[in-house]
Structure 1
Amino acid sequence: MNVSFNWLNDHLDLSDHSIAQLDDLLTFAGVEVEGVEQQGLSTELVVVAQIKDAVQHPNADRLKVCQVDAGEGSLRQIVCGAQNYKVGDKVPCALPGADLGGGFVIKEGKLRDVESKGMLCGASEIGLVDAEDGLFILDEDAVIGTPLVKMFASDTIIEVEITPNRPDLLSHCGMARELAALTGKSRTEPAFDLLDATAASDITLSNPERCPLYTATKISGVKVADSPEWLQTKLNAIGLRPINNIVDITNYVLHELGHPLHAFDAAKLDGSLDIRTAAEGEKFLPLDGEEIALTKDDLLISDAGGQALALAGIMGGNDSGVTESTTDVVLEAAYFTPSFIRRSSRRTALSSDSSYRFERGSDPQAVLKAASLAAKLMVEVAGGTIDGPAAVAGEAPVLTQPVKLDIAKLDQLMGGSITHAAAKDILTKLGLEEGADDLWNIPSFRLDLQRHIDLVEEIARVHGLENVESRFVGAYVDESAVDHAYDYQLGLKRQLASLGFYETQTIKLIAAHSNDNMVAQMCDALPQRPLMDGDLVQVALPLSEDHAIMRPSLVPGLVAVAARNIRQGRKSLRFFEMGKQFRNAGGGKAKDLEAESLSLLVSGTNAPQNWASKVPSIADLFDLKAIVAAILPKAQVQLKERKRDGFILAADVLADGKPIGAFAQLTPARCREIDANNPVYVAELDLAKLQQLATGVEKVDELPQFPGSSRDAAMEAPLTLENAAIEAAIKKHNESLLVDFHCFDVFTDASGEKIAADKKSVAYSFHYRSPSKTLKAKEVDKAHQALLDTLANKLKLSFR
């Protein structure tokens, strides 16, 4: 919301407070200041000047060289490109050094080789509204040399973000009330008489649950025209475009008192008013939109003929609004139940200043007050007369009740930093009234004050938390399992970031269609099995179809992130996310499971393409395996293939032979859906198991004192034999001299010419070393042959 400093000064004198001071006061009181904008001039270096002479610029067709009198005793030469002035006109002149805002400071210089000592200004260049294109032509009686800051008022606009529980601050009166309490100043309430009221015979509340109170006031003989300057100035200051005097007054009262109003053209109404729910599919044409279809959950203001005049609390109808031909006005002021307005506004995607306030809860006791001020102003500004008392249907609900201030608790919480008298003065300035036995009557505009602690909070924030002395020091607390988990996860995030990954944070609610067998089946890590019927945790009342189930896996979110990045042209994808996944254990037959997991996604190029690398390297499954191995340096990581429906390639991720998660490659069909031109690999790992494997004392081996010796072996094995089986057999052999081994080549020939089609050649390198001596060749050969014999016997391998 935009708040005008000049408008605030109508209610209390803030001249001795700078904008920076007000910013601090509001911020520390819980009202967030999002920005401050200066309107109009803030410098005295823009003065009234008279053009004494103007000749054609020698080097430019559209420029003239002017001699102007700025009240300095001599003429000043200025080059000007405007075309709307004549010699003798008085215009604003910005002297060198004048700051026109945005860092634009006037300096002496040359334009097309002709010296120019200032600038002649248009209205918009000095913070006013342009009436015509070109210079701002001032009145003939303007005194030469007078600073324009003395002729045109400047203003400061403070943009504030109001929390949903403080709708009382959504007006200048409410903000003035708040600042009066924060500054200790007295404020002035707007003075006007309340309208007389009578029970309405021609207003029907068909749904009093949604509209408990409705008033209508008729004003006859008005003349719709432009608003007076004072009204336009106030609306322009806060960013509202003046429309006409009737509509502008409703907007003014909205931002003055905080209660929305609406004006109907009485000639367009057919008899009585009915506040009813819409028929299913009923059409409505709002003021600034296309025709929409309503449901029976929407509330309408209609006339006796059934015409929809307005969508209650949100927006008026296009066929009932005030125009230049309007002579009689029906002024609506009402109270609408917030939840129903919020629901209709969201469903219809219609929003307005009125709905913004009604959704948060307007003051039900301020309905007649707002109508009275608006009617008074309409008579003053647009003429006409008020036809009788305001017609009232229903009654204002009482939404607040007295709250007792516990003085002993106040002293305890405030640490005796404020006297009882000062505390009560704060509550009084905030609009509360003291009753007997420390009971405080809560005003109708403060629906958020319901408990004793709410009153203490008001006292504390106005008094200033910095004035409450701290009485406690931090106490030592042993590290908990939660602390250890947090530290581990933070370190893991840093490690993944150093490996080129970007962290994502996706919503825990996903669409049911995201749980297809191409993605969500990845959540085998917790536990190690595919999803079963009944595993999904359904949301009872989802906000939309896209938020229908609790995510059983983090992979759908990562794939969606990858899709957005691919469509933005990103070639290399490295994403990770840590968070909870949800499922019903055992197909819904046991309690729900919530588990922390780490999800990884790799696709695209491994490094940016450059002149030295003509063909970019594309990530494959071994890149993802290497990442898993990097975050588990003390464990041996293996991928054990396990078929899963919907994946072109899938495997369990093993660490030291124990399952810690799942790995998969998305199918080509799924890749096409997300516009991926390269294979997409994903993995989901159990964070608790990762932490367990990563914790403990890290042991460092001493540097070897004796040299080692290597042997290579190429073995012919069945095509279906897994590398994990070879590694398991090598470990089981348990050769004491073998310190390292790895596979460095695999060869197959589908044609069967060089090797049988059902066979493959696997080449390993073995490294032997003794911790106590230098090995002889025959000792290495003996150990190596024993290992080969074991592999040949156990796995039926032959060596080439």
Structure 2
Amino acid sequence: MNVSFNWLNDHLDLSDHSLEQLDDLLTFAGVEVEGISRTGVPSDKIVVAQIMEAVQHPDADKLKVTQVDAGEGALRQIVCGAKNYKVGDKVPCCLPGASLGSFTIGETKMRGVESKGMLAAASEIGLVDEEDGLMILPADAEVGKPLVEIFESDTIIEVEITPNRPDLLSHTGMARELSALTGKERKPFEQPSLETTAASTVTISAEERCPLYTATKISGVKVTESPAWLKTKLEAIGLSPINNVVDITNFVLHELGHPLHAFDAAKVEGALDIRLANDGEKFDALDGSEHALTTEDLLISDASGNALALAGIMGGEASGVTEVTTDVILEAAYFTPSFIRRSSRRTALSSDSSYRFERGTDPQAVYNAAALAAKLIVEIAGGIIEGATEVAGEAPVLTQPVTLDIAKLEQLMGGSITLDAAKAILTKLGLTEGADNSWEVPSYRLDLQRHIDLVEEIARVHGLENVESRFVGAYVDESDVDKAYDYQLKLKQQLAALGFYETQTIKLIAEHSNDNMVAQMCDALPQRPLMDGDLVKVSLPLSEDHAVMRPSLVPGLVAVAARNIRQGRKSLRFFEMGKQFRNAGGGKAKDLEAESLALLISGTDAPVNWANKVPSIADLYDLKAVITAALPKAVVQLKERKRDGFILAADVLADGKPIGAFAQLTPARCRAIDANHPVYVAELDLAKLQQLATGIEKVDPLPQFPGSSRDAAMEAPITLENAAIENAIKKHNEMLLVDYHCFDVFTDPTGEKIAADKKSVAYSFTYRSPEKTLKAKEVDKAHQALLDFLAKSVKVSFR
């Protein structure tokens, strides 16, 4: 919500508080300030100037060379391209040094002619354009006078209001809050009133959803442009003026916080009826959209059944106020928040009104809002209030007295505030003290329901920094949650040190993202394919892109990679830790929420520089190396496993046990995200990673005796997995064997050098004894025993 500082000053004098002080006050009181900006003329070097001469530019048909009087005692030459002025007009002149935000005015040459400043349009100096070209100032404007002294500037504070504080969604509410925080008294405000009567032309057919509805008829109005003060206030907070009647309803909304709506009385046939929509009933909204309603939607309709408005959300196109309107019906009502929220989500219609009704408006403010709007319409648009305001239903009472526990207040506040000061804070916030420490809660503070709520308000306004801590830190045993947090933080730091960037993607994804790629990656948890019914779907998604809870972190990483590729990134190293969601067993068993780690790697393995002019391209072994680095005490293997949607896929094994899934995206998928290099992804079970990484890490002592190596080239079936060879080596359990690795693989599809269905795999083996230097015969014996075992167990022959 945008709050105008000038508008606030109508309620409260804040001239002795800087913006930084107000920012701190609101922030520490729980009101998030998202930004502060200034509107209006940005520099005191923008002055009134009179055009004394204008001649054609000698080298540009669309430019003129002007001589202007800026109150300096001599004329100033400025080249100008506008056409809407004449000699003698007074216009804004930006002198050299005037800052217009993105640039500063200086002296320059335009097509060879010197120009000492700039003549400006209204929009160029922070004002609203009313004509195309230069801003023409009044004839009596004083030449040389800075425009900051003529046009009012403003400061806009953008705040984010939490859902439990709808009372702050207005300038009156913000002034009330700042009055309590600063201790300043609010300026007096005369609240108009309306004569009311029981409704004769209003019927509420859905009382549960609309407990109170009022209608005020004003006849003889003249719908035209709003006065300058009203347009200025609305424009300051980002609203576009429409006409005087609509602008008044918007003004009252942002003044008091209660939404209103005005109908053209000529377009209303008979009595009003607040009813539920018929299933499939059509509604044409003011924004031009058409909606098919359900029996869950609340409508304002007339006797003929015409839908005039979707209650609390948006008016209908057919009943809106236009320039030909002469009589209006002013609506002020209270709608039940949950039903407004449901209709707004389902129809995807949102407005300033629905934003407030969804969070809960003040039921007692209905009459005040109607009275102020009716008064302003009569004053600005003319006309008369025709009869008394019709009232159907009654305002619900949503607050009740709350007792302040004095002893508990003293305990929680640590004696940092006196009882009188605490009572003064509650009084400033609008509460009224009763008997026996009971406090009447105003109707606009729906969040104050318990004793502790009152203490929280006192602490918030008093300042938590003023409450001294009475306790020192106490030792607490490390919990499982602490251990998981510490492990994940350590793992994040390790991945960052390896050149990876952490991503945080939204937990909601599009249902079409759940293609084969995602479904197959879900094998990582809990080691089986995604089944029908496993997806956790959102019942009322905000959009198609947020329709299901993610069953895998891979779609988010691939989307991040796509954005980085399109920004020109050559090396991609991303990881994300977070929850994945799914129903177990096709939705028949308990829902699963599992923590996982997703990795993505693609592109060059290092930046291009003078020493690395042609960097290598990352491959699957780079990703395997990262996984291995995260599990230094485990043997990591990639065991091939076919998965639809991937050119290459495997289970990730640690010490022979599955911990996740690995895959390479297909070329088609890479083209879809504009990737020029292979893209590799992996998703791992964080709980299993932590379990494998837990324990005391022991450092192996340096060997005292030299080792001896032997190489062996074995001929094996082309389908034989390297993991099978490694498993056989481990199974043999040769005590002298301390290291082994594959250093070459050779195949020949032509069959000339080796059979097409065979491959040659070369290994290097290192033997060492911790007790002595091995003799050649001992190494040969151990090596031959290993080769014999491999030949027997995995059916290989040695070359």
Give the TM-score normalised by the residue count of structure 1.
0.89
Alignment of 1:109-258 (within 5 A): 118-258=117-257
Q: Report the secondary structure of 1:319's partner residue.
A: helix
Give the C-alpha shift of residue 798 in structure 1: 3.1
1:530 and 2:528 are equivalent in the alignment:
yes
Equivalent position of 1:261 in the other structure? 260
Q: Report the secondary structure of 2:317's partner residue.
A: coil
Give the conservation status (yes or no) of the 8 Å contact 1:76–1:117: no
Equivalent position of 2:15 in the other structure? 15
Equivalent position of 1:445 in the other structure? 444
1:307 and 2:306 are equivalent in the alignment:
yes
* Structure 1 letter corresponding to 2:40: G
Return the alpha-carbon distance in structure 2 between the equivalents of residues 757 and 367 of structure 1. Answer: 86
Give the C-alpha shift of residue 205 in structure 1: 0.7
Q: Report the secondary structure of 1:364's partner residue.
A: coil
1:393 and 2:395 are equivalent in the alignment:
no
Give the C-alpha shift of residue 394 in structure 1: 0.9
CA change 1:609–1:303 in 2 (3 A) is same
Equivalent position of 2:780 in the other structure? 781
CA change 1:101–1:452 in 2 (3 A) is farther
Cα displacement string for residues 404-428 of structure 1 (whole angstroms, at most 9, x for unaligned residues): 1112212222222222222212211
CA change 1:613–1:305 in 2 (3 A) is same
Give the conservation status (yes or no) of the 8 Å contact 1:536–1:550: no
Cα displacement string for residues 700-735 of structure 1 (whole angstroms, at most 9, x for unaligned residues): 344445544332222233445443343344344444
Give the C-alpha shift of residue 374 in structure 1: 1.1
Equivalent position of 1:290 in the other structure? 289
Cα displacement string for residues 551-600 of structure 1 (whole angstroms, at most 9, x for unaligned residues): 55545655666677778887765443333445677888986665433333
Give the conservation status (yes or no) of the 8 Å contact 2:536–2:548: yes
Equivalent position of 1:469 in the other structure? 468
* Structure 2 letter corresponding to 1:530: R
Give the conservation status (yes or no) of the 8 Å contact 1:520–1:556: no
Return the alpha-carbon distance in structure 1 between the equivalents of residues 698 and 524 of structure 2. Answer: 29
Give the conservation status (yes or no) of the 8 Å contact 1:78–1:120: no
Give the C-alpha shift of residue 282 in structure 1: 1.6
CA change 1:658–1:439 in 2 (3 A) is same
Give the conservation status (yes or no) of the 8 Å contact 2:79–2:114: no
| 407-416 vs 86-95, greater mean Cα deviation | 86-95
1:319 and 2:326 are equivalent in the alignment:
no
Equivalent position of 2:366 in the other structure? 367
* Structure 1 letter corresponding to 2:4: S
CA change 1:250–1:720 in 2 (3 A) is closer
| 698-707 vs 314-323, greater mean Cα deviation | 698-707
* Structure 1 letter corresponding to 2:165: R
Q: Report the secondary structure of 1:354's partner residue.
A: helix
1:427 and 2:417 are equivalent in the alignment:
no
Return the alpha-carbon distance in structure 1 between the equivalents of residues 549 and 110 of structure 2. Answer: 67
Give the C-alpha shift of residue 646 in structure 1: 7.7
Cα displacement string for residues 226-263 of structure 1 (whole angstroms, at most 9, x for unaligned residues): 22222222222222222222112111111111111111
Q: Report the secondary structure of 2:266's partner residue.
A: helix
Equivalent position of 1:713 in the other structure? 712
Q: Report the secondary structure of 2:288's partner residue.
A: coil
| 664-673 vs 405-414, greater mean Cα deviation | 664-673
Give the conservation status (yes or no) of the 8 Å contact 1:514–1:520: no
Q: Report the secondary structure of 2:301's partner residue.
A: strand
Equivalent position of 2:635 in the other structure? 636
Equivalent position of 2:6 in the other structure? 6
Q: Report the secondary structure of 2:690's partner residue.
A: helix
| 632-641 vs 703-712, greater mean Cα deviation | 703-712
CA change 1:480–1:196 in 2 (3 A) is same
Return the alpha-carbon distance in structure 2 between the equivalents of residues 678 and 775 of structure 1. Answer: 48
Give the conservation status (yes or no) of the 8 Å contact 1:47–1:92: yes
Q: Report the secondary structure of 1:226's partner residue.
A: coil
Return the alpha-carbon distance in structure 1 between the equivalents of residues 22 and 387 of structure 2. Answer: 44
Cα displacement string for residues 80-112 of structure 1 (whole angstroms, at most 9, x for unaligned residues): 414444444444444454x45416544456556
Return the alpha-carbon distance in structure 1 between the equivalents of residues 113 and 149 of structure 2. Answer: 32
Give the conservation status (yes or no) of the 8 Å contact 1:100–1:126: no
Give the conservation status (yes or no) of the 8 Å contact 1:63–1:79: no
Return the alpha-carbon distance in structure 1 between the equivalents of residues 668 and 69 of structure 2. Answer: 78
Give the C-alpha shift of residue 57 in structure 1: 5.3
* Structure 2 letter corresponding to 1:352: S
Return the alpha-carbon distance in structure 1 between the equivalents of residues 212 and 204 of structure 2. Answer: 8
Give the C-alpha shift of residue 465 in structure 1: 1.9
Return the alpha-carbon distance in structure 1 between the equivalents of residues 522 and 726 of structure 2. Answer: 27
Return the alpha-carbon distance in structure 2 between the equivalents of residues 393 and 457 of structure 1. Answer: 37
Give the C-alpha shift of residue 395 in structure 1: 0.9
Equivalent position of 1:34 in the other structure? 34
Equivalent position of 2:496 in the other structure? 497
Give the conservation status (yes or no) of the 8 Å contact 1:215–1:332: yes
Return the alpha-carbon distance in structure 1 between the equivalents of residues 576 and 323 of structure 2. Answer: 59
Return the alpha-carbon distance in structure 1 between the equivalents of residues 254 and 511 of structure 2. Answer: 44
Equivalent position of 2:76 in the other structure? 77
Q: Report the secondary structure of 2:344's partner residue.
A: helix
Give the conservation status (yes or no) of the 8 Å contact 1:247–1:322: yes
What percent identity do the matched residue pairs reach? 79
Q: Which runs of 5+ in 2 are unaligned?
A: none
Give the conservation status (yes or no) of the 8 Å contact 2:638–2:651: yes
Equivalent position of 1:520 in the other structure? 519
Return the alpha-carbon distance in structure 2 between the equivalents of residues 187 and 782 of structure 1. Answer: 97
Return the alpha-carbon distance in structure 2 between the equivalents of residues 516 and 69 of structure 1. Answer: 70
Cα displacement string for residues 266-301 of structure 1 (whole angstroms, at most 9, x for unaligned residues): 111111111112222222222222322222222111
Return the alpha-carbon distance in structure 1 between the equivalents of residues 57 and 664 of structure 2. Answer: 73
Give the conservation status (yes or no) of the 8 Å contact 2:523–2:530: no
Return the alpha-carbon distance in structure 2 between the equivalents of residues 269 and 158 of structure 1. Answer: 40
Q: Report the secondary structure of 2:400's partner residue.
A: coil
Give the TM-score normalised by the residue count of structure 2.
0.89
Give the conservation status (yes or no) of the 8 Å contact 1:518–1:670: no
Return the alpha-carbon distance in structure 2 between the equivalents of residues 645 and 116 of structure 1. Answer: 68
| 385-394 vs 645-654, greater mean Cα deviation | 645-654
Return the alpha-carbon distance in structure 1 between the equivalents of residues 694 and 307 of structure 2. Answer: 69
Equivalent position of 2:336 in the other structure? 337
Q: Which runs of 5+ in 1 are unaligned?
A: none
Give the conservation status (yes or no) of the 8 Å contact 2:79–2:110: no
- RMSD, aligned CA: 3.7
Give the conservation status (yes or no) of the 8 Å contact 1:519–1:666: no
Give the C-alpha shift of residue 509 in structure 1: 5.7
Return the alpha-carbon distance in structure 1 between the equivalents of residues 326 and 496 of structure 2. Answer: 69
Return the alpha-carbon distance in structure 2 between the equivalents of residues 147 and 608 of structure 1. Answer: 53
| 140-149 vs 307-316, greater mean Cα deviation | 140-149
Return the alpha-carbon distance in structure 1 between the equivalents of residues 507 and 88 of structure 2. Answer: 71
